[in-house]
Amino acid sequence: KDGKTLWVDRLKGAFSGSPLIANGHYYIQSEEGRTFVVKPNREKLQVVGENTLSPGDEEIFRATLSPIDGMIFTRSQSVLYCIAD
């Protein structure tokens, strides 16, 4: 309400895609294929989950994550991935 910064922190990696907000969490994917699940918290950065895709060294993830029917789709420059239970 007053514009005061509550906290500052950083996730490891380089990021190009926009964060996805779904199910009360932020989903943020690095260019290396690591997806962080962050729970909003006024006191600190709270990472509640992490998933790493294991593509070849030359694969880079720059797309924004896309939620569809309980699944999350992402892509590198040459491969489409589906993340689901």
pLDDT band at 84 (very low <50, low <70, confident <90, very high): confident
The widest CA-to-CA distance across the chain, in whole angstroms, is 46
pLDDT single digits (tens) 58-77: 889 999 999 999 899 999 98
Strand ranges, E, within 33-79: 34-39, 46-52, 66-68, 71-75
Residue 55 has pLDDT above 70, yes or no: no
Alpha helix stretches (DSSP H) within the chain? none
pTM confidence score: 0.85
